[in-house]
């Protein structure tokens, strides 16, 4: 296989409140080292990989929530991860809560190259959940704590690959992967935090893992993409996360997946010629797509019969 890149996904077990950034970063560094030892070129870490998944908790005061945000990147606490990437010449994707200089807050991921330099940034567009439901045992307050991302779905080149990024709920929306693919992506990296329980209704629990995989597999197949998906797993501050981190090929098949609910590495030697079969034939966009009939997708006020309700 001459056209390959070795991909790693680094799942994280829980990060409970009170665990220091330094402790978390030392876990990330151990995983990065393990990935490099196995010959990996690119490592994907989860969404909000430096703290607990704090959007599950209602916090009244802004200053109490800002402890979960990073006002610089790298920061003193995360610098060792950047230094290690440079030392090992390995690239990584990392999700974190971003506080900008002008006081805006985003659910963000970055792509850091083998020189320890940030070469790409993404800010989450599909924020899930609701804005206020104080009576629930767990909440999903991303719409309260974050602004909608403002960077679109850009594509960055690293290791000779055209790489796009997204975060968690973005993966359920086919538009995410389609736009990235139209922008030239051949590899999608994503982190997520998915609770076992659906807060919205009494959904059968097996559907959570099924929908996670279904969305990734269909997106990989329909867009000729390699996908690396890294989750947090296990019981975090009393809420159980699904785990199930995986690597999906452009054929839509899961080629590697985690088996635990803790810190764990998985790998795939990814053949990037595989995507070309799909990209040139059944999903040859120039030959087969019919954008003239897709207008409803970009209509800002679509005529869907049932909507509203949430928020």
For position 30 contacting a second copy by CB under 8 A, the verdict is no
For position 153 contacting a second copy by CB under 8 A, the verdict is yes
| CA–CA gap between residue 296 and residue 299 (Å, rounded) | 5
Rounded to the nearest 10°, the torsion over CA 268, 157, 83, 102 is -120
For position 277 contacting a second copy by CB under 8 A, the verdict is yes
User: Total residues contacting a second copy (rule CB under 8 A)?
Assistant: 71
| CA–CA gap between residue 189 and residue 270 (Å, rounded) | 13
- Integer-rounded Cα Rg, in Å, for the chain is 19
For position 203 contacting a second copy by CB under 8 A, the verdict is yes
Q: Is the peptide bond before 152 cis (omega within 30 degrees of 0)?
A: no
Q: Between 49 and 220, name the residue whose CB sits nearer to a second copy.
A: 220
Residue pointed to by tokens 């890149």: 5
Active site residue 253: no
Q: Determine how many CB atoms are found less than 10 A away from the CB of residue 156.
A: 17
Q: Following DSSP, what letter does each residue of 187-230 receive, concatenated?
A: EEEEEE--BSS-SSS---THHHHHHHHHHHHHHHHHHT-EEEEE
Is the Cα dihedral 106, 44, 212, 303 positive or negative?
positive
Among 17, 67, 100, 183, binds a second copy (CB under 8 A): 183
| Site stretch for a second copy (CB under 8 A), options 36-44, 55-63, 256-264, 282-290 | 282-290
Is the Cα dihedral 203, 207, 213, 217 positive or negative?
negative
Contact 209, 229 (CB under 8 A): no
Active site residue 292: no
Strand order in the sheet with 226-231: 155-158, 161-167, 187-192, 226-231, 246-248, 254-257
Q: Between 8 and 225, name the residue whose CB sits nearer to a second copy.
A: 225
Residues 214-233 that bind a second copy (CB under 8 A): 214-215, 217-219, 221-222
For position 196 contacting a second copy by CB under 8 A, the verdict is no
Q: Between 112 and 227, name the residue whose CB sits nearer to a second copy.
A: 227
Nearest to 162 by CA among 192, 119, 117, 126: 119
Residues 115-144 that bind a second copy (CB under 8 A): 125-128
Residue pointed to by tokens 């009494």: 202
| Site stretch for a second copy (CB under 8 A), options 86-94, 103-111, 236-244, 295-303 | 295-303
Active site residue 29: no
For position 290 contacting a second copy by CB under 8 A, the verdict is yes
| CA–CA gap between residue 109 and residue 156 (Å, rounded) | 13
| Site stretch for a second copy (CB under 8 A), options 22-30, 46-54, 193-201, 260-268 | 193-201
For position 160 contacting a second copy by CB under 8 A, the verdict is no
Minimum separation from the CB atom of position 32 to a second copy (A): 30
Minimum separation from the CB atom of position 22 to a second copy (A): 36
SS3 call for 121: strand
Active-site residue identified among 142, 166, 168, 236 = 168
Residues 230-269 that bind a second copy (CB under 8 A): 251-253
Minimum separation from the CB atom of position 67 to a second copy (A): 28
For position 310 contacting a second copy by CB under 8 A, the verdict is yes
For position 104 contacting a second copy by CB under 8 A, the verdict is no
SS3 call for 6: strand
Active site (catalytic) residues? 47, 124, 168
């Amino acid at each position: 296989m001459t056209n390959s890149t070795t991909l790693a996904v680094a799942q994280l077990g829980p990060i409970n409140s009170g665990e220091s950034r330094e402790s978390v970063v030392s876990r990330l560094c151990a995983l990065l080292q393990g990935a490099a030892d196995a010959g990996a070129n690119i490592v994907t870490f989860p969404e909000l990989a430096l703290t607990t998944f704090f959007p599950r908790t209602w916090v009244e005061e802004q200053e109490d929530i800002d402890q979960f945000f990073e006002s610089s990147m790298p920061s003193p606490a995360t610098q060792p991860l950047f230094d290690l990437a440079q030392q090992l010449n390995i690239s990584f994707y990392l999700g974190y809560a971003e506080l900008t200089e002008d006081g805006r807050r985003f659910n963000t991921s970055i792509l850091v190259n083998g020189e320890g330099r940030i070469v790409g940034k993404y800010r989450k567009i599909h924020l899930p959940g609701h804005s206020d439901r104080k009576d629930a045992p767990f909440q999903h307050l991303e719409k309260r704590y974050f602004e909608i991302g403002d960077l679109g779905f850009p594509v960055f080149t690293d290791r000779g690959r055209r790489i796009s990024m997204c975060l968690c709920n973005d993966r359920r929306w086919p538009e995410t992967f389609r736009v990235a693919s139209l922008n030239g992506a051949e590899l999608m990296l994503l982190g997520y935090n998915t609770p076992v329980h659906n807060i919205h209704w009494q959904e059968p629990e097996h559907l959570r893992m099924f929908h996670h995989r279904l969305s990734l597999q269909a997106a990989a197949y329909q867009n000729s993409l390699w996908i690396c998906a890294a989750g947090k797993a296990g019981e975090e501050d009393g809420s159980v996360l699904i785990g199930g981190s995986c690597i999906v090929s452009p054929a839509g098949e899961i080629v590697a997946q985690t088996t635990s609910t803790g810190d764990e590495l998985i790998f795939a030697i990814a053949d990037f010629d595989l995507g070309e079969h799909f990209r040139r034939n059944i999903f040859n966009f120039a030959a087969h797509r019919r954008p003239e009939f897709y207008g409803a997708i970009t209509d800002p006020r679509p005529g869907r019969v049932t909507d509203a309700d949430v928020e």
